[in-house]
Each structure stands twice: as C-alpha cells, then as structure tokens.
Structure 1
Amino acid sequence: MQTKIKLLNRRRINQKLENIFLYPLSIVHAPIGYGKTTAVSQFLNQYAETVDLVWASLAGSGGSVEYLWNHLVENIRESDLRHALKKMGYPYDELKRVNLVDLLIDYEYKRPAVLVLDDFQVIDDPGVFALIKLVVQEHIKNMHIVLITRDLSKLDAAGLYQKQLCFTLTEKSLKFTREEIQRYFNIAGCVLSEDDVEKIYSYTEGWVSMVYVLLKGMQRGLPVGKSDTINDIIEQNLYNTLSEKARETLCRLSFLEAFTISMALYVLDDPEAGYVLQRLIKQNTFVVYNEFDKSYKIRNLLQEFFGLRAKFLNIDFRPLYKRAGEWYLRERQYERAFEYLYQAGEIEMILAEFNRENTPDIQFTQFRRFFPIFDTLTQEQCLKYPIAYLQYIRIRAMGTEQGALGRCRDNLDTMERYIQGSTLNEGYKRFLLGEVNVIRTFVVYNDLEAMVRCNEKAMEYFSGGCSCIVTRHKEFTFGSPHLLYGYYKEKGKLRHTAEYLAQHSESLTAPVDGCGTGCDSVALAEYALETGDFDHVELHAYKAMYKAKAAKQTCLMVCAQFALARLEILCSTSERDPQLMGSLREEVLKENNPVLNSTFALCDGYLNACLGRSGEIAEWIRSGDWSGASFLRQGMPFYHTVYAKAVMLSGDAIRLEAVCEMALREFAPYQNQLGLLHNAIYMAVAQKQLHGEEAGCAALCRALEIGQADGIVLPFAENAVYILDMLEKISDQNVFDAAYMNRVLFCAQEYQKRVECLNFNKVVLTAREKEILGLLERGCKHEEIGERLFISVTTVRYHIKNIYQKLEVNNKVLAIKKAQELKLL
C-alpha cells in the first residue's frame, strides 16, 4: 500500500539504523506498510553531505537482474566507478564476480558509500544474494549495503550473522509504539486520549500503514476504529490484490484467534489450502507470526474486515467451528475446544466430554458457556448426562447468583431420586450417588458437620474409590488464603472448629482423591496464629507445607505460607525485610489458575497493608474493582477484609466507614466471625476519625467481644498503629478479662515496634518502579522502557521522578547506585 505519511522523527529507529555504518550488510525486513523505505531514507538523509548514497528501487523491475544492474550503475555518482561497472556488465560467471570484488576492494572510497536495494524481494535469482554475500565477506572499508525486503526466505544470511557481518531491523522494531502513535496524530493536528491510543494500537498492532488509514478516517470525522471508509481502503489496496482462493481462505480463517499450519489445514479441510497459506505467510502482509506460542494470526483490523466479508459471502462457519473444536479437544485445550463447539451448536459433544469419568480439568471461570448450556436443557436432557449435570450444580453452588443454593439443593434431590429409581448398572448407580453426596458438600458449605456427613456417605458409595468430578486438581480453599476464615461461624467455637476440621480431615479429603491434603495442619497453624500461640505456628504450618506439596495442593501451601508470613512480621529477629510470599510465587504461576492468582494477590495485599506499604498493594484491591480478579463465592469474604484494610491505609475515613457497612452484608451468609472481627476494627478506626475516640472505642469493643470468646489476639496486633491508644483506654475501663487484654496489648505493642523497625528509613518502591529501575540499570532509554512495558514515555518519566524522590537523588547513576546499596535491585 503506497501512502504518503507525514514524516515522524523516530529517534529510536534512527539509533538502530546507525548500525548501517558498523556492518557491511544491513537487512531491513518487514511486511508491506511498515515504513521500511521511509525509515531508511529519513535516516540516510541526515548524512546527505557526508555519505555517497546509491539508491536503487527495484519495484517495477519484474525481478530482472539486468534492470537491477543498470539501475544501480546509473545511480552511482563517481564517474570512474560508474564507467568501470557499466563496461563490466552484470557478473554472471565466476571470473566476472572475482573481477567485481577486486574492483570494489581496490576502489578508493573517499567517504562512506551506502548502497540501498529497495524492494529486494522482487529479485528471484538466488545468484544476486550470493554475489552480495561474496562482496560482504570481504568487509570492504567504507562500503555498506542495505537490503530493504518483505521476504527473508531467499536470503541465506546465517553465516553472515555468525561472522557478525550482518545487521537486521525487523517489523518488531519498525512498528509504531503507543507513544509514536500519539506523536504522529499530534503532528497531523489530531489530539488523542490515552484510550484512543490504546484502541489504535490494539487495532493496528503498530502497523504503520494501518495507523495512517485510521488517521485519515479521523481527519474525515470518523470515530477511532473500524468504519466503512477504512474497509473501502483495505479492499482497494489489499483485498483486491489477492487471488480468489486466497480471499476465500482468509475469510474462512477469520473466525480463528490464532492457528498453526497443521490446525488451519485440519479446520479448512481443503487440499489447496496448504499452498495458499504458505504464500500468504511468506507475503507476511495479512498473516503474522507470534514467536511466543509459535502460531499465526490474521492482523487485527484485517481479521474484522475478512470476518465481515465472510458474512457477505454467506460462508457457513459451523463446520469450521466444529473442526476447530475437534482439533483443540485432541490437543486437550478444553477451554478453546468447548468455545468453538458451542459456536458450532455441538452441545451434545460438549456434554459428552463433561460426562466422561476422566472429565476434562477446566476451571469453570474459563468456560462461562457452561451456564447457558444447562439453563436451556430439559430435566430429561440433564439427567442423560449425570456427571456433566453434577459439575453444573457444583459450579452453580460456587457462584454468586441469588437463590442458587436452594435450586442446587432441589436439583441434587431430583438427581438422587432419578438415580435410585433408574435401571442403571448397580455399580454405576453407587458411583453416581457418591458423586451426588460429594457435590452436596458445596451446598452445605461452612457447616462442617454436614460436610463431613456428606463425604462419609460418599465414601460408603465409592467403596474405596473416589470422585471423578472433584479431584486433587480442584480448588479446596475456594480462593481464601485463610482456611478457618470460611468455617469459623460461631463466637467461642474457633478452637472447636480447628480441631474438628483437623480430626475429620480424612473424611474431607479421601472421597475427593486427596483434594485438601494438609488442611488438618493448616487449621491448627491458623488457630495457633490467631490466638497468639506463636511457638506452635511453625510446627503445624511446615507440616502443612510438606503434606500439601506432596499432594500438589498449592492452595493449601498458600494458606500455610500466609500463616508463616504473618508470623514472620511479628516474631522474626532479623532486621531485613520479611520474605512474605515470594518463595511461593513461581509455584502459583505454574498452576495457571485465575482463582489462585487472585488469592496470592490478596495475601500480598494483606501483608503489605500490615507493613503500611500501600504502593505494594495491587491496584484492583486498593480501588475495590475486582472485576478483573477471579473469586468463588465461598472465598469472597476474605477479599472484603483485605479491601477494607487497604482503604484504612489510605486514610479516607468516610470511604472506610462505607466499605465496612457494605462488608457486613458479605459476612452475613456464612457468619464469618474473623471477617466480622476485622471489620469491627476497621470501623473503629473510621468512627474515631469521624465521630471521636468514644465512638471508635465502642466499635472496637465489638471486635474484642468476638476476640475474647476465643482468645484471638493477632488481628489487633496487626492494626496496632491505628488502635493501640483505643486498646489502652478500653483496658483501663476493665470491661474485658484483664489477662486477655494484657495479651492483646503486649502483642500490639510488640507488633508496632517491629513494623517501625522494618520501615525505619525504608525506601519502598512499587513493583512497576522496581521494573523500571532494573531496565535503567541495564542501560535502556526511556522510549525503550515504554516499549517494553507497554506504557507511554510520559508515564515512564513520571515513575522515574517518583523513584528519584524516594531515593533522594537527582539522576540515574545515583539512583542505580543507591538502589544497589539498599539491595532494591
């Protein structure tokens, strides 16, 4: 696509192109429309007075070697060299090639000579590049060759790279960054918001010509994004250049987010598709390669265009969706498989997959279609697929929908009656009845006695076997990093709850393939921690870690590590920063479980709030916008505790009071006593600031009433900086047991001293600031940092300014030196 783009000074590209003068050969490679020619031309124009430039454009040459040679010779300024080369003619044979090399070596270059061959991809004769390699290998002083091309397949440059004789600039570097898009539009008189920049970058992926198309559309008054005008431009300049078969292939592939060659061939089921695909990939205009997952995709804006074109052509996507679903099933990528099968209308295939005894392990949060599928089925259809139906009931029981538990209970009762009255094989009957009772534990959640009864009944039915629906791969803690938090529902029963859970752990874990292994030790560690029995926390927590690790129960490892991290803040004698949850980060990331990732962020948020480090708490926790996080209903209450703790740290008392009032509704269904206790502490802080110390003490007494009934001390200590003066005043009033209040006060005073010690002269950098500082240390410029982190240069400068302020320095060198001294890098 030929476009007259208003020139944008791209300093980062110019810096890369300086390599032209360091290497005998430079290859600038990218698809059409990436401004390759513009970039090289703009760069070399700076050296018009100091460089001998020979520019030969091969567009329109038809691949003729004679055209290349004549065009090249005619553009040489030096008459002696031009005359000698013209007389020689193109060196077709070995003797002439040797003569050419000798001539070029012997020629006296008064200043650097740069030979640019533009649109080099049109030259089909492999001998041309072989000749260039011959010249390049001589490393002739002051002679530099630049090839601008769309296709690398004909250029065997591996040996040159190895010998460091060749430099390459690719599409990855040439594409516009967000900051360049912003500047480019500014030059054209169009002011963009950050959202507009993000949209344009997302649509175009930095493809320069597409950025230009959107700019033209915006100058005509069109909104940012696709439009009929832009589609017309794409049709005229790109679509019409394709063969009919290539158009059909791209239209039929337009529904795929990404594909490999083998997948595309399976989905298209067309013997001609392989050849067409290879040509499209080679052309590299419509289809791009993703190095990360080794797949291809149609460019974003073009994908929308071909999708619309497919509708116009009445292409039936259902068979294609089905074959894509079959492909992903074979690859065991169930989330994508089910999505495509759903689009194909192949509901029976999905149900059959979910009804297998070795049912696919897929997080329900990743396949939301599960709900609409079952919501439209009749009861008879549901009962036809009992295992799939039970999975659906389990998922509903973990959701947040109003009245879901009552319907789940009724569905299980219906299921049980159907199984008992059916003519199914007796062994299969007992297996399904065992599954019904396993799923019942989700409906009666946080009634430990009822959960144990359901599981024991399930064990009888399984007769030594276990569930295929709930296995050790499933979530046991429902996303709460504190196990007892979900089950401690009656004041005065914390110890009973912990011991009952520990004593019946076998009943809770055996029928579900060991899911929950280590919960007994976690419960005892958490009880010891909350009640100030600090000598026994490590014993139980480490036992929990060993058990959970052996059974691959990462969720319980998080609980155990969280208990140890809370203990470390209070009890460690080291003056260095506590390690908190860092040792488990890699384990959690490996799981690739969205619920577990959110759980881990909550742990980090809670611990950093204890240390008064607001900047280290995830933004979604601080803002209360958990739409991007993943939670199960049973794990939600702990989120509200961490959110309120983060708000308390901000000092906004009005917001804190509102958050506490709303949180009470979240704690009500399960009567989470620890949630109510923490909430009363936060409310006391808000009340004190808004209505005075007396109101604050009254609210704090509600927390102490729960705490005293079970001897709980740690939550008061963790919030000592806000409530110590109120605790001392309440203690003087002799309202609560003196021994209990003395323990609370002692722990609170010790905790405050410990936190003050850790934060003394402490420089706290956010995760983003550490990332940027690390890149500065590696020598990255501001623009490079912005490009790597996908943020604007303005944002980079903002973060660097904050870093300088925190480190009390005024330049990069001092910042890096001080950060190294403070072991921040």
Structure 2
Amino acid sequence: MYKQNNNRGLYFSEKITESMNGIFNYPLTIVEAPMGYGKTIAVREHLNFAHANVLWQKIYDSSINSFWNDLCFLFSKINSNCAQSLARLGFPFDRLSMREVLKLIEEVEIPEKTVLFIDDYHHLNGTEVGRFIEFLVINEIDRFHIVLTARFIDFPNIEELTLKGYLLYIRKDHLELVPNEIVKYYSACGVSINNSDAEKLYATTEGWISALYLLLINYKTEGRFLTTNSIYKLVDNAIYKPLAQEVKDFLIHMCIFDSFTKTQAVFVWENEEANLFLEDITRKNLFVNYNINTKSYHIHHIFINFLQNILAEKDASYKEKLNKRAGDWYLKNNEYLAAMHYFYKVGDFENLLLAVELDKGESFYLEHKEVIIKYFEECPYEYKQDNLVALLVYAMTLIRFNEMSLFPKVYEEVTLLIQSSSLNPVSMNNLMGELEFVKSFTRYNHIMGMSEHLKKACKLMNRPSVFINTKSIWTFGSPSVLHLFYRESGKLEQEVHAMKEMMPYYYQLTNGHGMGSEYVMEAEWYYNKGDFENAEIAINKAQVQANIIFQPNIVISALFLQIKLTLVKGDYAHVRYLFNKMHEEIVESQLYPLMYTIDMCVGFVNACLRQDRKIPEWLTEGTFNSSHLFFPARAFSNIILGRFFLIKGEYLKLLGNVEYFITIASIFPSILAKIYTMIYVAAAEEHIFRRSEAIEALKKALDMAVTDKVYMPFVENCDYIQPLLDALYLHDIYREHIKQILAIYKPYHNSMEQIISRYFIESKPNLTKREEEIAQLAAEGYSNKRIGERLYISPNTVKTQLKSVYEKMGVNSRFLLKQYFDENPRM
C-alpha cells in the first residue's frame, strides 16, 4: 500500500553510494549508463551531501566552442581573471595551449573538493575535448576533480587511465536497482510493495529507474502496476494528463529549448505565471530539474521528446509564433547564432539577417560554415535587398572560410543589390567602399593588388569599415612581416615601399589595425641585407607605432627581429629579456593565439643555436591545427622544421618534405620560405654526398635571393653550406654576394658559438634516489596515489617530492617530465 504522496523520494543503493565515495580519490570519474538511470541525480546528490564545490556543465551538442564558452563561465566563479584568460586563449587543440590552460588553472587557488561535473558528455564523444580532459587528469591539479556522465563513452585510453590510478569508472550495473533495492526505493517514495511485486517490476524494467518511477506514478493514480512497452503512454497517463491545461501549454512552449531560465520562460510564454508553474513543477516532478549553478531549468529527455511530439501536431501558426518568440529572446540577449536558428525555422529572414549584421561574423567558426552558407543560399532576394550589411558580413565570412568558389557569386550579387538600391549617395558609396575593402582580402599578400582596392575604398567611404576588430591578429600569427609579403624575387625594395604606401589607407579603414607593420617589413629588409644599424632604427619606429593603439602582434614581430639582431651581437642574456617582454605582451593583451607566434620565435632561435631539444614539439612534428596556426604562417613554421631536420641529421626526411614545403610557400607566395627551403636542400644533398645536386640547389636559392641582397638565410645556415659557398666562389658564381655573406657570417658564427658554449652545456639534475624513483614513475604516467602505493609512501609525500623534482629539472608538468626522460633516457 502507499503511505504518502512523496514522488521525490530519493534512494541510492549501497553499491552506487560506495562507488561514488571514491570520486575525491581520483582526478577523473566516469559514470556511464543509458538514458534514465539517474546518473545526473546520483552524482548531484552525492556531491551536495559531500559539500563539494561543484562546477556543473550540461552538454547539449558537439560544439567545442560552446563547451569552452560554458567552461570559462563556470571558472569565473572561482577566478574571473582566469576565466577571461581561458576565454581569450580559446579551446586548446594542442599541447602548447593545453600547457597554457594548465598553467592558468594551477595559478588559481582552487577551493577544497572542487568538481567539474560534465553532464551528458556523450555529445562530445569523438571530439578533441577527450584529449584535453585526459591532459588535465594526468597532471593532477590539486583539489580539482572531473566527473563525466554519459549514455555511452568514447574516451581516450580508458584502460590505461584506470590501470595507472587516474580513473574511477562507474557503469550501468552500479545504477540498476535489483528487487530488494526496488522495495527500498518505493518505500522512500511512500509505497510499500512485497518481494513478489518487486520481482515483477524488475522483470519489466530491468532495474531502469525512470521506468520504475513512471510505474510508481501510475500506481498512485490507478492503484495497480501496468506492464506496457510504451514509455510515452506511461508519461502521458502518469505525468501529462493530470496537469492543468495552462501548465501543459507552458511545457510545450519550453520543450523547444535544451535549457531555459525563468526570465526566458516568462518572455517566450508571455505570461508572468511561468514563475509559479516552474516552482510547482520542479517541487512535484522529477522530470523538470533546476540547476542552481546556471540558474536554468532542464526537462528530462523522455519528457521533452514526448512534449516535442505533441508540438509537432500543433498548427503552423502556433509553431511559428513560438519559434519567432524564441528568436526574439536570443536576439535581445545578443546570442546571435541561437537567434538565427529559430528565425530560420520559421522563415523569418529579415530578423535572421539582422542577427548576422549585429554579430558581424564574430561568432562564426568553421564548425558553423555549412549552416551559415545554408541560411544565405535559401534567403529570398527581397530580404537580401534590405539587409546589405549582412551580405557584406557573409562575403567576408566566405573569405575567412576559404570558400573562394562561392565568393565571386556573392560579390556579384551584393554589387548588383547595392547598385539597384534606393540608398542616398553617401550610404551607397560607403557600402561600395565596404565591398572594395572586402575584395582586397582576395588579393592577400599581393601588396599592389590589395592597395588598389584599399585606395578605392578610402575614396568611397567617409567612415571606417564595420568588419575589422583592431584587436585581431594582423600578422596571422607569423613572427615575420617580410615572410608574409615578400612574394616576388627581384622586387623586395619595391614591395617594401609599396607597403609603406598602402598601410595608411588600411589604417584609415580600420582605425589603425596592424599599426607599425610597414616599419617591421622595412627593418627585416635591412636585416636580411646585413645592414643591422638601419634595421635597428626601423624596428624602433615600428615599436613606437605599434604601441600607439596597442598592437601586440606587431610588437612581438618587432621583438623577434630585435632578438635576431641581439644574437648577432652574442648577447643571449638580452635575448632572454626580450622573450620575457614577448610573454608580457600576451599577458597584457590576452591574445593567446600569439603563444604560437612566440613558440615559432623560440623555435627559430633554438634552431639557429642547434638546440633541437628546445624547439617546441608541435613544430618538430610538422602537424598543425588550423584553429591556432593560420595558413599564411605555415610556411614560416616549415623554415624551422627544415632546419630541425638538418640538426637531427634527417637528410632524407628533409628531402622528402621539400615538395610539401614549396607547395605551402606557393599558395600565398613567400620567396623567403622558398630561399630557406632550397638552402636546406643544398645542405641535405651535400651530406648524402651528392655534390652536383647540392650545388644546383644552392644556385637556385642564390638566384632568388641575391637580386634583393637577401643574405641572412645563407648566413644563418652557413654552418651547413659554407663548403658549397666556397666552391661557387672559386667558380666565380655570385662571387661578390658570396663574399658579403661570408663577411657577415664570420662575426655571426663567433657570436653563436660563444652563446652555445656559455649557455647550453648539459648538466644532470641533482635528484635524490627517492626523487628519481618518483620522477620515473610520474613520467611513465602513474598517478600520485599509485606511486604512493608502489613506494609505500603517502600521496601527499609524492606530491611534495614531485614538486621538488619539477624545481630541480626546470619543468612544471608530467608532460614535460616525460619529454625530458624521452630525450635523456640514461639520466
């Protein structure tokens, strides 16, 4: 019999309680079970009972960008500065950015028993998020634990993580209720049943708690248990039918959202009573839950699917009004992508294009490419005619997406629409100027070609462009402006002057975006000729200009050239100081993609110093993620990779990569990258005793370089090609140019050898025997808990000793520790 009306009685079996008691003993816990097994409630209640500091994150789709934005929001509750830094850094697709995330989190005082609870993780299966979580887990952040709940899990290295003591893995069988547990669960809800009833319920539900709950509700309504295969019929009878009509209507309105807030519910339903309904529904019914952290409501998957089936049967006007109201809500709250989604569902292209105009493309990532193109492909002509700025945003977005096959069609369409509009002359000229500005990017790195469009845009416009964010990275992450714009052999001086002529027009249109870049290019021109004095004058001009409106990417390019000039002088202490200034630029600007720029600077310098172990690993692997290394910077990264192959003696591998290097350097033509590549080919051919091929390759490099007096690529690699230069000199081939190269090389060589001998003598870290044991096990991937078990010491002792190891070895993570042991196997 049933004792009281208590539908919210919570019951947790001993096996699930015992399992979850281990959450705080592991960096990672995974709770895996199909829908309706009470994963979320079990984790939530256990963490509440343990007084944990919970960062609860519900996952609704596979968008990495959405995952990262939500995660940054959660971290703002611990430290707002950290959250802002994480947001600017962006999702970490590679080890460099993962280490930066780790550093940011470890610098924050994490409260005791902090748990990042990622609910419905299965939506992120197969994405890079798993690799990122694994990285955090194996680095064991103090007082920080991660819990994932998922219907099914596809997580990297589950067996290894379990074996090494990082992972607590809770499966479906822990959450199933067997007959004696069903008796206890029903009792907690005010219903007494006997063992026979419990056996029948178990046979019907196989311990699935959602079905048990629905049968419970049905029992309270009709006084008997029904066995049915239709879960929706149970939902209908037990949950939906007893509700008042107003409540039903309210829930149907809300079922179009994955989650919603009180103010959102009031706005969309257009009724202040939504507040009262929400309080009543959540108090009485487990199928609508409230998340106190995000202050939002979530309808259970079973119930939301049921409600959506009812919505599908409503007439078109009902659904149109509902989706239109949802779009208005998101537009009002500056969530433009979500607004576009709902406006598109009802064919409201006027408001969809308004959302595009307001967003300016800032929310459009590569993962949104197909849907953005679909919106504009299906947009009726009459709406485009009245929303020309949105079309300009779309045209610029196509260039960003590298959809150049679509761009001409859109460009022609926008041109005709502007010309046929009834705008006043000033407005029409501004839009035609915007179009010219957009088109300049189709001629990227052709200075004269870009300049033509920019001049036309300036003549037409009486205001700056609406498209460019002056805080975006003008250099695309390249440390060298010359590398980006030196595209034609024999015309370098002309290109330097053309750049100085073009940039004032660009600055006029963008409020100074990239300020100082023309002086960086000029300084690099002087440097490559060996005119270090004029290079230093020009680079100081660049820094003054870049600091006027704070252009950190230009400052870093200027500092990189200063570092190269300082290497020539042999002053490595000042090189270190300049690298510190680079890092300060990132901290101040929080433009974290510039980490990759700095890494390329570090890689280039260490390649010059033949310190192959100190070149960042992502550069030596030759694999790059498009989210962080923009394409125009790729050819520069290959300059570093080619030199790395030489240092390692991997001559055949280098020659096998030449075609790839040249292909990358030809897309946005970079003569500088091609010169370096042919120098590397010459060095590799010489080292495999193919002198004639080596001479031929070096001649090709000289053919491209000497008409512009680009000497420094040869100087920087003279340690590999000097015999070849000597041979060409004896045969009177480019004799005067080679003479100049060798004259510059002599002091350069002395400076580099002096730096190497003083700063790069290997020394073994002075670890105790116990520290060595701990370091080896940590490098092999074992958690502090498992290391303690193996060495019969406490996890806290392991943590203390490991901190000492890090300090002595100059590393700050298990990842770097492993890297050290891989490079020094006989420590």
**1:77-134: CA deviation from partner (whole Å, max 9, x where unpaired):** xxxxxxxxxxxxxxxxxxxxxxxxxxxxxxxxxxxxxxxxxxxxxxxxxxxxxxxxxx
Give the TM-score of the pair, scaled to structure 2: 0.60
Which runs of 5 or more structure 1 residues have no equivalent in the other structure?
17-29, 42-166, 181-189, 217-227, 765-775, 801-809
Write the distance in 2 (CA, Å) between the matches of 1:792 and 1:251.
54
**Equivalent in the alignment of 1:423:** 422
Instruction: Tell whether 2:491 aligns with 1:493.
Output: yes
When residues 614 and 472 of structure 1 are mapped into structure 2, their CA distance, relative to the original with a 3 A threshold, is same
Which structure 2 residues correspond to residues 123-162 of structure 1 after superposition, within 5 A? Answer: none
**1:580-638: CA deviation from partner (whole Å, max 9, x where unpaired):** 65534465477677865655554455455445555665555444443452455545543
Which runs of 5 or more structure 2 residues have no equivalent in the other structure?
1-10, 28-38, 51-110, 122-132, 139-151, 179-203, 218-237, 789-796, 813-827
Give, in angstroms, the shift of residue 673 of structure 1.
Answer: 0.4
Write the distance in 2 (CA, Å) between the matches of 1:588 and 1:544.
18
SS for the counterpart of 2:782 is helix
**Equivalent in the alignment of 2:512:** 514
**Equivalent in the alignment of 1:2:** 12
Write the distance in 1 (CA, Å) between the matches of 2:261 and 2:344.
21
When residues 556 and 318 of structure 1 are mapped into structure 2, their CA distance, relative to the original with a 3 A threshold, is farther
Give, in angstroms, the shift of residue 541 of structure 1.
Answer: 3.0
8 Å Cα contact 1:595/1:632 also seen in 2: no
Aligned partner of 2:334 among 332, 335, 339: 332
8 Å Cα contact 2:685/2:694 also seen in 1: yes
Write the distance in 2 (CA, Å) between the matches of 1:337 and 1:799.
51
When residues 466 and 727 of structure 1 are mapped into structure 2, their CA distance, relative to the original with a 3 A threshold, is same
Which structure 2 residues correspond to residues 369-384 of structure 1 after superposition, within 5 A? Answer: 369-377=371-379, 382-384=384-386
Write the distance in 2 (CA, Å) between the matches of 1:15 and 1:440.
54
8 Å Cα contact 1:447/1:487 also seen in 2: yes
**Equivalent in the alignment of 1:666:** 664
Write the distance in 2 (CA, Å) between the matches of 1:531 and 1:714.
7
When residues 820 and 496 of structure 1 are mapped into structure 2, their CA distance, relative to the original with a 3 A threshold, is same
**1:421-477: CA deviation from partner (whole Å, max 9, x where unpaired):** 543211111111211221221122223223222222222212x42222335355533
**1:766-804: CA deviation from partner (whole Å, max 9, x where unpaired):** xxxxxxxxxx99xxx99xx99xxxx9953789999xxxx
**Equivalent in the alignment of 2:782:** 794
Residue identity opposite 1:194 in structure 2: P
Write the distance in 2 (CA, Å) between the matches of 1:232 and 1:454.
66
Instruction: Tell whether 2:360 aligns with 1:352.
Output: no
**Equivalent in the alignment of 2:441:** 442
Aligned positions, number: 624
8 Å Cα contact 2:543/2:555 also seen in 1: yes
Residue identity opposite 1:745 in structure 2: Y
Write the distance in 2 (CA, Å) between the matches of 1:438 and 1:719.
40
Give the TM-score of the pair, scaled to structure 1: 0.61
Give, in angstroms, the shift of residue 676 of structure 1.
Answer: 0.9
Write the distance in 1 (CA, Å) between the matches of 2:578 and 2:207.
53
Which structure 2 residues correspond to residues 163-202 of structure 1 after superposition, within 5 A? Answer: 194-195=156-157
Bigger CA drift: 579-588 or 524-533?
579-588
**CA RMSD, Structure 1 to Structure 2 (Å):** 5.5
Write the distance in 1 (CA, Å) between the matches of 2:341 and 2:488.
43
**1:266-304: CA deviation from partner (whole Å, max 9, x where unpaired):** 45656455456568999999868696xx56586xxx976
8 Å Cα contact 1:441/1:454 also seen in 2: yes
8 Å Cα contact 1:31/1:285 also seen in 2: no
Write the distance in 2 (CA, Å) between the matches of 1:673 and 1:661.
15
Residue identity opposite 1:371 in structure 2: I
Identity between Structure 1 and Structure 2 (%) = 19
Give, in angstroms, the shift of residue 578 of structure 1.
Answer: 1.9
Write the distance in 2 (CA, Å) between the matches of 1:488 and 1:215.
70
Relative contact order (alpha carbons < 8 A, sep ≥ 6): 1 or 2 greater? 2
Which structure 2 residues correspond to residues 8-47 of structure 1 after superposition, within 5 A? Answer: 13=24, 32-34=41-43
Give, in angstroms, the shift of residue 389 of structure 1.
Answer: 1.9
**1:514-557: CA deviation from partner (whole Å, max 9, x where unpaired):** 22322222222222333333334444334323322332433323
Write the distance in 1 (CA, Å) between the matches of 2:323 and 2:647.
50
**1:717-772: CA deviation from partner (whole Å, max 9, x where unpaired):** 444565556555555555333432314533355435434543222789xxxxxxxx
**Equivalent in the alignment of 1:525:** 523
8 Å Cα contact 1:717/1:752 also seen in 2: no
Write the distance in 2 (CA, Å) between the matches of 1:761 and 1:755.
11
Residue identity opposite 2:515 in structure 1: T
When residues 266 and 491 of structure 1 are mapped into structure 2, their CA distance, relative to the original with a 3 A threshold, is same
**Equivalent in the alignment of 2:459:** 460
Give, in angstroms, the shift of residue 675 of structure 1.
Answer: 1.8
Residue identity opposite 1:453 in structure 2: E
8 Å Cα contact 2:361/2:397 also seen in 1: no
SS for the counterpart of 2:752 is helix
Write the distance in 1 (CA, Å) between the matches of 2:510 and 2:624.
30
Which structure 2 residues correspond to residues 672-821 of structure 1 after superposition, within 5 A? Answer: 672-688=670-686, 692=690, 694-719=692-717, 722-723=720-721, 726-727=724-725, 734-736=732-734, 737-743=737-743, 745-746=745-746, 747-748=748-749, 750-751=751-752, 753-755=754-756, 757-761=758-762, 794=782, 820=807
When residues 309 and 285 of structure 1 are mapped into structure 2, their CA distance, relative to the original with a 3 A threshold, is closer
8 Å Cα contact 1:398/1:633 also seen in 2: no
8 Å Cα contact 2:418/2:431 also seen in 1: yes
8 Å Cα contact 1:34/1:171 also seen in 2: no
Write the distance in 2 (CA, Å) between the matches of 1:669 and 1:461.
31
Write the distance in 1 (CA, Å) between the matches of 2:543 and 2:562.
10
8 Å Cα contact 1:325/1:341 also seen in 2: yes
SS for the counterpart of 1:423 is coil
Write the distance in 2 (CA, Å) between the matches of 1:401 and 1:232.
49
